Structure 1
Amino acid sequence: MKILLIGYGKMGQTIAALAAQRGHEIAGIVDLHASQLNISDFTPATADVAIEFTHPDSALANITACLRQGLPVVCGSTGWLHHFDEAKSLTAELGGSLFYASNYSVGVNLFFHFNEYMAAKMHQFGGYDVAVREIHHTHKIDQPSGTALTAAEGILAHFPGKTTWRNAPAESPAELAIISERSGEVVGTHIVTYTSGVDTLELKHEAHSREGFAQGALLAAEWLPGRTGVFGMKELLDL
């Protein structure tokens, strides 16, 4: 498979190395610092799929360019989801293919699955408050992380009484606190904590390297070509 890499930071470099191990070819690299190529230089004749890991400010433009070129695109950029409806509409309009996940780790997506189940059960038995904590490296721009937001959305959907999230300690019982920390080179840690007067329960995922994210992105890139629509890890993993 020929892959167009959009973004060649730490994630792009990890994806490129793993892609070679899996027998794929990097058709090109589009990156402000690593090449002078543009997305418009590529078509389905020269690339089977694009993988995009860049910046919140550039993600929508990159996705739009891929869709207009007829390229299926796997997006891993976070912090741009206020434009997600635009991307979905354009995908439908052009009959294209878009795969988005806030986190491509298989373990994290199992974490999301169990998070929703746990939220429903914890609310059912009552007496608990819930909060989300996320820890990332100091280079991460968006706050809270896309993974924390996905976890928060899962809680809000299954824990009645929590109606909104706040990137700070909660000021009312209806608010779900998301506490963001930036420290050193931490790859990514996410913790959902339920606390009552008698005990505390935690659901935690801690990434040890970027390889898990890169593996998931490549799985999505292998799965997406030939499909039409907007997809995510639930479809890929059949969750």
Structure 2
Amino acid sequence: MRIAIIGYGKMGKEIELYATQNAHTISYIIDFENVNEVEKINSSNTDVAIEFTNPLSAVKNILTCFENKVPIVCGTTGWYSELDNVKNFCSKHNGTLFYSSNFSIGVYIYTEIAKYASKILNELSGYNVKIEETHHTQKLDSPSGTAISLANNILPFLQKYKDWKKPDNCDNNYLPISSKRIDDTTGIHALIFESNADIIEIKHTAKNRKNFAKGAILAAETFYNKKGIFTMSDLYNTIV
């Protein structure tokens, strides 16, 4: 495939490396210096775009790809409040969008385990639940998109919580998500159930970004020739 990389930070560089090692070519690399060249990405020079930028840029990049008939895989988080508008625009332009807060298959499996544990522990009294996430200091959004996605996946099974909140604005009716930013930390997510008697902790730790790049490329390979909006559950269902 001819892949345009939109966003050339740590993930963009990892995607470039993994893509070229797996017989793909890079049609464009978009970074701060040439951000306006996103407009040049179109179906005549690119098969799919992979976008890892920031919440302020992501929606514009997605819509531009729709207009230019380029399927897009988006790993940026922090823009999901605009998701309904993006879905409408995708439908209008018969576009293709694969989006996820985390492209690791391991994280998808981790989330399924977390849902099952939440369902079981919801039946038991005495357990309080919280989520803790840790990332590198360059990560702008807090909590992480993965932590928010984890919360939204387990909340339907936890009857005592209305929603999630950050700890400094959280009472017993809300699931707290705390965030830490530490240099050279790829990503750690922990779901913690605590009672007076014990602590049950379910954790996922990313060792590096290679698995994220692999997942993004796999999503691009699987869905670039399909129309509509897709997520990790769709990808998971194609490989198991």
Instruction: Return the TM-score normalized by structure 1.
Output: 0.96
Query: Could you list the per-position Cα deviations for residues 132-189 of structure 1 after superposition, in whole angstroms to 9, with x for gaps in the alignment?
Result: 0000111111000001000110121211121111111574221100010111111100
> Which residue of structure 2 aligns with residue 46 of structure 1?
45
Residue 71 of structure 1 is matched in structure 2 by 70
- Report the residue type matching 1:210 in the other structure: R
Per the alignment, residue 19 of structure 1 pairs with 19
Q: Which moved more, 1:185-194 or 1:111-120?
A: 111-120
How far apart are residue 122 of structure 1 and its match?
Answer: 1.0
The answer to whether the 8 A contact 1:31-1:37 is kept is no
Letter in 1 for 2:51: E
- Hey, which of these two has a bigger chunk of helix by percent? 2
User: What residue is the counterpart of 2:199 in the other structure?
Assistant: 200
Aligned residue number for residue 121 of structure 2: 122
- Greater CA drift, 204-213 or 116-125: 116-125
1:132-147 superposed matches below 5 A: 132-147=131-146
Q: Distance in 2 between matches of 1:128 and 1:81?
A: 30
- Offset of residue 40 of structure 1: 2.0
CA distance in 2, matches of 1:134, 1:156: 17
- 8 Å CA contact retained: 1:169, 1:178: no
SS at match of 2:216: helix
Structure 1 residue identity aligned to 2:222: W
Distance in 1 (alpha carbons) for counterparts of 2:35 and 2:111: 38
Counterpart residue number, 1:165: 164
Aligned pair count reads 238
Q: Which residue of 1 aligns with 2:7?
A: 7
Cα distance in 2 for residues equivalent to 1:108 and 1:171: 26
Gaps of 5+ in 2: none
Deviation track 1:86-140 (CA, whole Å, cap 9, x = no partner) reads 1111111111110000000111111111111111111023321100000011111
Alpha-carbon distance, 1:36 to partner: 6.2
Q: CA RMSD in A?
A: 1.4
Question: How far apart, in 1, do the equivalents of 2:103 and 2:211 lie?
Answer: 7
Q: Could you tell me which amino acid in structure 2 is paired with residue 60 of structure 1? A: V
Distance 1:232-1:51 versus aligned 2 partners, 3 A rule: same
Percent of pairs identical after alignment? 38
Quote the offset at 1:224 in angstroms: 1.2
Which amino acid counterpart does residue 63 of structure 1 have in structure 2? I
- The DSSP-based 3-state class of the residue aligned with 2:167 is coil
Contact 1:132–1:177 (CA<8 Å) still a contact in 2?
yes
Alignment partners' CA distance in 2, 1:171 and 1:178: 9
